[in-house]
Structure 1
Amino acid sequence: MKIKRNIMVHNSLPDGANALMINSGTVHHSHHKAALVSYLDEEFIPEYLDHAYVNKRDWRNLTAEELICITADDTRNDHNTVYVGEIPEELKTCFKNIGLEKSVDRDEVFDRFEATPQLTLRATQLLNEFLEPLSNDKNFKFHCIGVNYPNVELVAANTTMLPKGFKQAEKKFLGIHNDGTQLMTIENAHTFGNRISINLGKDTRYLLFVNLSLKEAYNMLSEKLAAEELAKVNVSNIPKYFFAHFPDYPVIRIQQKPYQYYIAATDNFFHDGSTLGGTHLDVCIVYFGSFQY
């Protein structure tokens, strides 16, 4: 199935188009053998929620036609475009001196921040200077330091109900999904801004996404489902419906090397992060706002 011109990509990465790949769609997780995760004293095969769908692994370079289809133009804004690039050199050096890429677990990541208060303060100042021109004159805020194990094909999981000190094998991974809260609907998900995620780890990580807004995904479903069934589709279950009916809609993968970032309205389209192929702890920092450039 050909990709549509909908969610666009504004690419400022040094690797250019070579940082992007595309596949032939998705499959239900039950038809997909997950990669073994072996890190520190844990070894497990990731398990998914019952309704989860995952990407196929037949990645290839995008054709010239596909690149044109997703390349951003002057209509880009904070919800219809994924922006990718590198952070400034001074900020990069500051994070390198904190040494987060040497961390082996989540506790050590925070220990390194606490052990270097002046560098941490400087990194915060430099982050604000970097983000301010991208902020659309709107407020932005720190969200989290994300930490994931290496070689996890799709990293998102809901851990809020797990006990303190849980093992990674206890996670149930979401599969390709859209973010959101109870306040959101398919109609208004695009109004909630976006996020910037910066890779602070040692390994390359990936953003995987379907370049369709939730509205467009819903419109496509409206051509497949009877009115009675379409009425059941909402912001929480739309991935299940979409991937069941459009398993051959491609997924795009963007390579994110250390100190590179993506900006994306993850409430407004299907996506996930991936550390597949990595051997070191994955560390990223996330801010919420309405970023674009």
Structure 2
Amino acid sequence: MLERASHIHCVLSTLKPPRLAIEFAAALEIERFTSLLTACSIPAYASAILESIVRMSPGSRTILEIGIDGCIGLQISKSVATTTGLALATAVGSNPTTGLFDHLSRMDSDFGGFCCAASAAGQVTFSLLAYPQPDSVGIAKEWNCLMVALGVRGQVLPIDEIMLFADMHSVGMSLGYELTGEDGIAVSLGCLDFPIKGASDALQLITAEHASLELACEIAAARKQSVFRSIDIRQVPRGRREVCFHVDLEDEAHSMRAIGGHSTGLVAGVRLILPVEGDHLRETRLWLSEGTTSPPMLSADGPDYRAGATVPRLPWHRPASEEQHVLLGAEAPASERNWLAIVRLPPEFMNCFEVLRLGDLETLEQVEAIRRNPEMPSALVAAANLLSTTYSDVGSDVTCLGISAQRPGQQTVSFDHGLQRRVGLHIDTWDDADGDTQHRVCGRNILLANLGATDRYFLYLNISVDAMERLLPGTDLDANRLAERFLRSYSRYPVAKVRVAPGEAYIAPVQSILHDGSTAGTRHLDVHVAFLGRFRARNFAGDT
């Protein structure tokens, strides 16, 4: 089963034996899952519950947890209506007369998923998962209400201190509701991307809990990680709590593999052209991630992700001088292949949209209204004509992709409207229907202009699909499957993040590189307009 895994991390608990958590990019195969249940001596009635959950959740993102004590657990990312979730809980043995059950029955929002686990002793645990909330005040208020529902007296968790720490470090928060298990009922607080430094003080760990933290820190340090994938704090009615530290694990042959023999782990590929500016401004332009990873099952910063999605692995760091040498180009080349650029938009381009006052927009509803503004079509046509006649190849087509907007604070922004899920790092398909890599590298590039009042960010891997083919010889895959194979094989290959200020645009070969946009760290609405064409950075102002 491990060959189908997209991500693996270990879970170190202060109360229970360690376990592995394995996330799958594709649906679990029921036959192989059944064999695993048999190997772990899970009783027939408990196995039947887990097997039915796998069958009822085709295509859903799944995490399989395997404990060294033989316990098997499933975490399913699937929207569940309140009534359906509580009916499932009752079916596996939950007591509907508890205060927690009554509290959840009054909720007017769906759950974001659920967990079910079984042990060789026949114990079955079922939990419902709330969608993560970025509002720490709301999380703290709900937590205190849950303590009342559980009948817990006194401050058993430093919730205010944890919320303050979470706000300072952009930690995503979520809640889980355990409705049946050895403790009867319990609630859990999930903290995503939790910084290792300061974790002990923020959680106010007691002496007995430090051994698990120290082991988790050793594993993370060996992998040069500065954040835990997540921390879960589980609270039971008697005041007892369990803290679980989730640490990323990698196949060392993949994670430490140098690509092309380059000591930075970067290959000389797609070059970035930046505007001419002072060194102090350049230092705030470019960052590198620690590689790539799967996003959390439930996302704290926006809509959930589709199955198999990949996002940058945090934290970000400034590129060293050798890394900058690989990433940056000195000047815009004549060819549109293997380069991208940040350009300052000329005044005549910005003037096309001046009457619309796009920088003043604060909500997505206002953006929808401005799309219906009678001035909008003429503004888009004028901008497209300007780009076609002055800033792109003679005779090349320019296609306007329209005005778009994104909420602030999202690690990635691209969204699949059919699945109602975020996409993560991806390759665009505008001109190419069959996925041929050579066709893609010769395809049109994109110009995306920041017309809002805040910075936005472009995320990309500086390696094109034709270079991926050379690194993965013997593969005969279309571009998107080739990219997925590359991400699995080279999960430590860094993602670059470049800042695009208001009044600037990026020009990028988005049909041949893995990329996405980001509004992480911003507080205002991101508003932008995009065009497809054959744009040249050297055709813009001479400062690029």
TM-score strictly above 0.5 = yes
Hey, what's the Cα distance between the residues in 1 that align with 2:491 and 2:383?
42
CA drift at 1:133: 2.8
Higher RCO by CA contacts (8 Å cutoff, separation 6 or greater): 1
Amino acid at match of 1:275: T
Hey, what's the Cα distance between the residues in 2 that align with 1:102 and 1:129?
24
Matched, 1:22 2:288: yes
Matches of residues 37-76 of structure 1 in structure 2 within 5 Å? 37=302, 46-72=303-329, 73=331, 75-76=333-334
CA drift at 1:93: 5.3
**Which SS does the other structure have where 1:48 is aligned?**
coil
Matched, 1:140 2:406: no
The aligned residue for residue 424 of structure 2 is 175
Amino acid at match of 2:408: P
Q: Is the 8 A contact 1:98 1:113 kept in 2?
A: no
The aligned residue for residue 301 of structure 2 is 36
Q: Is the 8 A contact 2:384 2:531 kept in 1?
A: no
Which of 349, 353, 357 does residue 99 from structure 1 map onto? 357
**Which SS does the other structure have where 1:212 is aligned?**
strand
The aligned residue for residue 366 of structure 2 is 108
Of all paired residues, the percent bearing the same amino acid is: 21
Amino acid at match of 2:307: D
Hey, what's the Cα distance between the residues in 2 that align with 1:12 and 1:59?
22
- The count of aligned residue pairs is 267
Distance 1:33 1:111, change over 3 A: closer
Q: Is the 8 A contact 1:91 1:123 kept in 2?
A: no
Hey, what's the Cα distance between the residues in 2 that align with 1:267 and 1:126?
22
Distance 1:178 1:196, change over 3 A: same
CA drift at 1:108: 2.3
Matched, 1:12 2:269: no
Which of 192, 196, 201 does residue 443 from structure 2 map onto? 192
Q: Is the 8 A contact 1:145 1:283 kept in 2?
A: yes
Q: Deviations over 1:96-134 (max 9, x none)?
A: 5422122244452253365472x8746743553355332
Amino acid at match of 1:218: E
Where structure 1 has 5 or more consecutive residues not aligned to the other structure, the ranges are 38-45, 163-170
Which of 493, 507, 515 does residue 249 from structure 1 map onto? 493
Q: Deviations over 1:217-262 (max 9, x none)?
A: 122122xxxx4xx23x322322321111101111110101112100
CA drift at 1:33: 7.4
Q: Deviations over 1:7-65 (max 9, x none)?
A: 011111643353111122111224x874434xxxxxxxx31121111101221222222
Matched, 1:268 2:512: yes
Hey, what's the Cα distance between the residues in 2 that align with 1:193 and 1:203?
27
Hey, what's the Cα distance between the residues in 2 that align with 1:75 and 1:93?
28
Distance 1:115 1:269, change over 3 A: closer
Structure showing greater Rg: 2
Amino acid at match of 2:341: Y
Q: Is the 8 A contact 2:454 2:501 kept in 1?
A: yes
Hey, what's the Cα distance between the residues in 1 that align with 2:407 and 2:399?
25
CA RMSD of aligned residues (A): 2.5
Hey, what's the Cα distance between the residues in 1 that align with 2:276 and 2:370?
28
Q: Deviations over 1:159-194 (max 9, x none)?
A: 1x26xxxxxxxx311111111142331222112111
Which of 266, 283, 288 does residue 527 from structure 2 map onto? 283
Distance 1:102 1:147, change over 3 A: same
Matched, 1:204 2:455: yes
Hey, what's the Cα distance between the residues in 2 that align with 1:139 and 1:123?
15
**Which SS does the other structure have where 2:386 is aligned?**
helix
The aligned residue for residue 244 of structure 2 is none
Distance 1:13 1:271, change over 3 A: farther
Hey, what's the Cα distance between the residues in 2 that align with 1:122 and 1:271?
28
Q: Is the 8 A contact 1:7 1:212 kept in 2?
A: yes
Q: Is the 8 A contact 1:87 1:259 kept in 2?
A: yes
**Which SS does the other structure have where 1:276 is aligned?**
coil
Hey, what's the Cα distance between the residues in 1 that align with 2:298 and 2:267?
29
CA drift at 1:144: 1.9
TM-score (norm 1): 0.81
CA drift at 1:285: 0.4
Amino acid at match of 1:206: Y
The aligned residue for residue 155 of structure 1 is 413
Which of 464, 469, 482 does residue 213 from structure 1 map onto? 464
Q: Is the 8 A contact 1:35 1:151 kept in 2?
A: no
